[in-house]
């Protein structure tokens, strides 16, 4: 029997839902359907360990192919199964669970897996018809579901630590120990508060990982500093959304840009950063700027609607990422940040970057 969590079952739901819809709906930055941007589906492809499944249409029938095998199932049946699965996903409260009725249905066309093959970069590939260009491109997607917990865009690690020098302050070993032992609910914020109270100022030095730092510089040479400023603001205020942090920094203008003509320096650069993370940039690996096969996201909303965001419609994709992400505090012990430490007679403090969908 197949068991999985809500995120994993959402992959099967997405497959059933888009096949039964016969079209993809593009979404805007607020997760609303863009009524004028609809893509008819020609074919859906899903790579599993036992081969590639191809779903195409013959009027009201879905033709399912896997190698030499071919089976025909009504679109109505896919619709019925998608609705049933959505109802079950809304009911379930366990971390993992099985849904025998859905397992039985996908088994009927030889599918035995909730997730796409782990070696492929896209969860699902879809051949659409683009009425504007009269072409049929194949688009790769990652599936992001709101039915379970919010997923991360950028996972925390020691590689996502930013190192700050503490200026204007000399501390004794006891004072350092005292600050590092602050163990309140918002301990990082309170430790920085204490440093500031004693007259200290945090000045960004570099990223802990030179690979991540260089990845950021490749996207935009000002990014390390901009993200460091956003992080500092996040850990010293009540603001957490990427949109609000960027808006605030656009006003304070820490990089001293010429804002006479209202160029969107900060939001433009942050959007590029988010898009590159979404399309394959990882902090621990050298980023060449080459996008992987997954060109976008299919987002499963809480009401079961599926919206598509793709690099194919770059503006909508960037706006979705920019509007729907926030910074959050990861484990400071696991990722080794949030404490004062000394090196060559100078004191430092690390802050960590983790980005999650709202």
Query: Which is nearest to 357 in space by CA: 302, 314, 295, 312?
Result: 302
DSSP states along 173-234: HHHHHHHHT--STTHHHHHHHHHHHTT-EEEEEEES-HHHHHHHHHH-TTHHHHHHHHHHHH
Q: Strand, helix or coil at 63?
A: strand
- How many whole angstroms separate alpha carbon 144 and alpha carbon 354? 17
Residue 185's Cβ-count burial label (10 Å; 0-12, 13-18, 19+) is exposed
Angle at 217 (CA atoms; ends 309, 251), nearest 5 degrees? 75
- Listed in sequence order, the DSSP H helices in 22-74 are none
Q: Strand, helix or coil at 80?
A: helix
Partners of 72 in the β-ladder: 63
Distance spanning both ends of the chain, measured CA to CA: 33
- How many whole angstroms separate alpha carbon 14 and alpha carbon 29? 20
CA atoms lying within 13 Å on the CB side of residue 229? 20
Q: Strand, helix or coil at 19?
A: helix
Q: Which two tokens stand for residue 344?
A: 């060559």
Alpha-carbon distances, residue 69 vs 52, 64, 72 (angstroms): 11, 8, 10
Q: What are phi and psi of 269, to 5 degrees?
A: -70, -40
> What single DSSP character describes residue 131?
T
Radius of gyration of the chain from its Cα atoms, rounded to whole angstroms: 24
Are 161 and 335 in contact by the 8 Å Cβ rule? The answer is: yes
Are 234 and 249 in contact by the 8 Å Cβ rule? The answer is: no
User: What pTM, to 2 d.p., does this model score?
Assistant: 0.87
Q: Angle between the 75-91 and 6-21 helix axes, to the nearest 10 degrees? A: 150
Angle at 52 (CA atoms; ends 48, 56), nearest 5 degrees? 125
Return the pLDDT at 132: 81
Q: What are phi and psi of 272, to 5 degrees?
A: -65, -40
Return the pLDDT at 292: 62
Extents of the domains making up the chain: 3-149, 154-290+312-357
Query: What is the chain's pLDDT, residue by residue, as a tens digit (358 residues)?
Result: 889 999 899 999 999 999 999 999 999 999 999 988 899 999 999 999 888 999 999 999 999 999 888 999 999 999 999 999 999 999 988 889 999 999 999 999 999 888 887 766 678 999 999 888 899 989 989 899 998 878 899 999 999 999 999 999 889 899 999 999 999 999 999 999 999 999 999 999 999 999 999 999 999 999 999 999 999 999 999 999 999 999 999 999 999 999 999 999 999 999 999 999 988 899 999 999 887 656 789 999 999 999 999 887 889 999 999 999 999 999 999 999 999 999 998 999 999 999 999 8
């Amino acid at each position: 029997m197949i068991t999985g969590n809500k995120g994993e079952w959402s992959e099967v739901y997405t497959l059933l839902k888009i096949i039964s819809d016969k079209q993809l709906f593009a979404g805007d930055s607020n997760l609303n359907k863009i009524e004028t941007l609809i893509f008819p589906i020609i074919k859906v492809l899903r790579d599993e360990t036992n081969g590639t499944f191809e779903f195409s249409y013959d009027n009201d029938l879905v033709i399912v192919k896997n190698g030499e095998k071919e089976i025909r199932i009504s679109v109505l049946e896919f619709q019925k199964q998608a609705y049933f699965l959505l109802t079950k996903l809304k009911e379930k409260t366990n971390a993992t669970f099985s849904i025998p009725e859905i397992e039985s249905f996908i088994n009927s066309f030889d599918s035995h897996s909730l997730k796409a093959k782990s070696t492929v970069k896209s969860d699902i590939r879809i051949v659409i018809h683009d009425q504007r260009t009269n072409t049929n491109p194949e688009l790769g997607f990652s599936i992001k579901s709101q039915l379970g917990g919010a997923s991360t865009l950028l996972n925390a690690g020691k590689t996502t630590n930013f190192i700050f020098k503490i200026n204007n302050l000399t501390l004794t070993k006891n004072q350092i120990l005292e600050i590092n032992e602050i163990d309140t609910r918002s301990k990082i914020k309170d430790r920085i508060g204490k440093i500031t109270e004693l007259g200290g100022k945090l000045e960004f030095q570099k990223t802990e990982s030179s690979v991540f730092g260089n990845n950021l510089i490749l996207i935009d040479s000002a990014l390390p500093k901009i993200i460091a400023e956003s992080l500092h603001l996040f850990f010293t205020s009540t603001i957490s959304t990427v949109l609000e942090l960027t808006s605030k920094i656009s006003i304070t203008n820490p990089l001293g840009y010429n804002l006479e003509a209202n160029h969107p320096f900060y939001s433009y650069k942050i959007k590029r950063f988010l898009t590159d993370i979404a399309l394959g940039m990882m902090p621990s690996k050298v980023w060449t700027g080459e996008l992987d096969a997954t060109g976008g996201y299919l987002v499963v909303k809480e009401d079961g609607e599926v919206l598509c965001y793709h690099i194919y419609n770059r503006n909508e994709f960037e706006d979705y990422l920019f509007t729907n992400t926030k910074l959050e505090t990861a484990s400071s012990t696991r990722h080794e940040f949030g404490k004062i430490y000394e090196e060559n007679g100078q004191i430092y403090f690390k802050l960590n970057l983790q980005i999650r969908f709202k």
